[in-house]
Chains A and B, each alone.
Chain A
Amino acid sequence: MKYLEQKPGPLWWTKNPRYFMYFVREINGILLGFLAFASIITLIAVSLIWKYALNSNALFIGTANILIPVLICATIVSSIIHTLTWLDAMPKILPLQLSKNRQKIAYVILIIFWLGLSYILLNIFYLSYATVV
Chain B
Amino acid sequence: MQPSSKKTVISYLLFSGLSTFLAFFLPVYLSGLLNQNAEMRFQIPFFAQLAVFDLFLFAMLYQGQYRLKTTVTDLGLKKAHLWKKLTGISFYISLLALLVLNIIMAGGMANSL
Contact = CB atoms under 8 A, between A and B. Distances in A.
Asked whether any CB of A lies within 8 Å of a CB of B in the complex, the reply is: yes
Nearest to A120: B28
Interface string B1-39: 000000000000000000110111111101111110111
Contacts, number: 133
Interface of A: 7-8, 10, 13, 26-27, 29-37, 39-41, 43-44, 47-48, 51, 69, 72-73, 75-76, 79-80, 82-83, 86-87, 90, 114, 117-118, 121-122, 124-130, 132
A22 to B, nearest CB: 8
Given A10-B75, A48-B104, A80-B27, A40 B41 contact: no
A86 B23 CA distance: 7
Given A7-B76, A36-B61, A73-B34, A126 B40 contact: yes
Query: Is chain B's interface secondary structure helix, strand, loop, or mixed overall?
Result: helix
B70 to A, nearest CB: 7
Interface in B54-94: 56-57, 60-65, 67-68, 70-71, 74-77, 90, 94
A39 B29 CA distance: 15
B51 interface: no
B64 A121 contact: no
Given A26-B70, A126-B38, A126-B40, A72 B61 contact: no
Query: Is chain A's interface secondary structure helix, strand, loop, or mixed overall?
Result: helix
A26 B71 contact: yes
A47 B41 contact: no
Nearest to A40: B97
B30 A79 contact: yes
A13 to B, nearest CB: 8
Contacts of A32: 22, 60, 63-64
A122 B64 contact: no
Given A26-B70, A29-B64, A80-B27, A40 B32 contact: no
A115 B33 CA distance: 18
B24 A117 contact: yes
A127 B19 contact: no
A130 B26 contact: no
